[in-house]
């Protein structure tokens, strides 16, 4: 899954794809490089961010979605109104970092459309999520949360076989907790759904390389984390640098098979 942030302020690629023509070109390049789908988002969820109203999110993503009609697209949103418009324009998957907790109408929009859905774990909300994240058992807690959100989505009418689960790397977790979640991916796989991991460029990757103030991580560290997640059973990797990840994952898959 290639990341296309149509935002001025995303943590690692803010501004690069804010111009719709640039976003469309980036998305097409990612698909050419081997991405199975591109994830288009109009709101940054970086630590400390405030969020944007639906009108602004739509203003950002609609021209990009219009330029990608007919191609495999996911919409990264927590808002029913944005998801509805994206699905009308051909998006196949709704990627909701709040796991259907932010907008009570989103579950119905996904259920009615028959789209795929990604449910991600986040502790708190982006504005405050990195303030002293504590868990007794991070992997067990994230698995219990996703099990409950999976049941809620199915209750709301979303077909279970259309749902994937995501531990939410960087969303209210310490550096150690992010790596532990990948180490214990078996707990999420036990829920019986495909697992998505988004470690790409996240600050924990910069921090383990010795910079305690890092806000991003390098491409090579991202690739290492993606391969580790793949080897532990993740089947969808959400990444900014598609070519590098496709090459590394092709090699990892050759070893595995």
End-to-end CA separation in angstroms for the chain? 22
Among 2, 20, 41, 217, binds ligand HH2 (CB under 6 A): 41
For the question of residue 193 being annotated catalytic, the response is no
Our CB check for ligand HH2 shows the closer of 109 and 196 to be 196
205 binds ligand HH2 (CB under 6 A): no
The position carrying tokens 């418009």 is: 85
Give, as one character, the DSSP assignment of residue 43: S
d(CA 146, CA 154): 12
Q: What is the DSSP string of 149-188?
A: HHHHHHHTT--GGGEEEE--TTSS--HHHHHHHHHTHHHH
Which residue, among 169, 181, 168, 172, has the nearest Cα to 205 in the 3D structure? 169
4 binds ligand HH2 (CB under 6 A): no
d(CA 35, CA 32): 7
For the question of residue 202 being annotated catalytic, the response is yes
**Contact string (CB under 6 A) for ligand HH2, positions 112-151, x = contact:** ------x-x-------------------------------
User: Where do the H-state alpha helices sit in the chain?
Assistant: 20-32, 54-66, 80-88, 106-113, 138-155, 175-183, 185-189, 203-207, 219-231, 242-256
78 binds ligand HH2 (CB under 6 A): no
d(CA 14, CA 9): 4
Our CB check for ligand HH2 shows the closer of 127 and 251 to be 127
d(CA 109, CA 226): 31
Tell me the window of 16-24, 42-50, 103-111, 215-223 that interacts with ligand HH2 (CB under 6 A).
42-50
Smallest gap from residue 105 Cβ to ligand HH2 (A): 20
Q: Which of 149, 202, 207, 232 is catalytic?
A: 202
Our CB check for ligand HH2 shows the closer of 40 and 89 to be 40
76 binds ligand HH2 (CB under 6 A): yes
Smallest gap from residue 6 Cβ to ligand HH2 (A): 9
Among 198, 205, 222, 248, binds ligand HH2 (CB under 6 A): 198
Which residues lie near ligand HH2 (CB under 6 A)?
3, 5, 7, 10-12, 41, 44-46, 76, 95, 97, 118, 120, 166, 168-169, 196, 198, 238
Residue positions annotated with a catalytic role: 202, 238
């Amino acid at each position: 899954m290639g990341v296309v942030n149509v935002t001025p302020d995303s943590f690692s690629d803010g501004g690069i794809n804010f111009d719709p023509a640039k976003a469309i070109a980036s998305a097409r390049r990612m698909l050419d490089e081997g991405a199975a789908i591109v994830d288009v988002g109009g709101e940054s969820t970086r630590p400390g961010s405030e969020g944007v109203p639906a009108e602004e999110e739509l203003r950002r993503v609609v021209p990009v979605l219009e330029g990608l009609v007919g191609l495999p697209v996911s919409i990264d949103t927590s808002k029913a109104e944005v998801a509805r418009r994206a699905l009308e324009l051909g998006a196949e998957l709704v990627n909701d970092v709040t796991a259907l907790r932010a907008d009570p109408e989103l579950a119905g929009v996904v259920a009615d459309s028959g789209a795929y859905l990604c449910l991600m774990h986040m502790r708190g909300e982006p504005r405050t999520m990195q303030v002293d994240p504590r868990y007794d058992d991070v992997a067990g807690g994230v698995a219990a949360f996703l099990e409950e959100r999976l049941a809620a989505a199915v209750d709301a009418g979303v077909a279970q076989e259309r749902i994937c689960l995501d531990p939410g790397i960087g969303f209210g977790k310490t550096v150690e907790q992010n790596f532990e979640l990948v180490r214990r991916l078996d707990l999420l796989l036990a829920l019986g759904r495909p697992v998505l991991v988004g470690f790409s460029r996240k600050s924990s990757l910069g921090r383990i390389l010795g910079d305690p103030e890092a806000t991003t991580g390098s491409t090579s560290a991202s690739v290492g984390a993606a391969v580790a997640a793949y080897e532990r059973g993740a089947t969808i990797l959400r990444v900014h640098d598609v070519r590098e990840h496709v090459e590394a994952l092709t090699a990892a898959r050759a070893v595995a098979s």
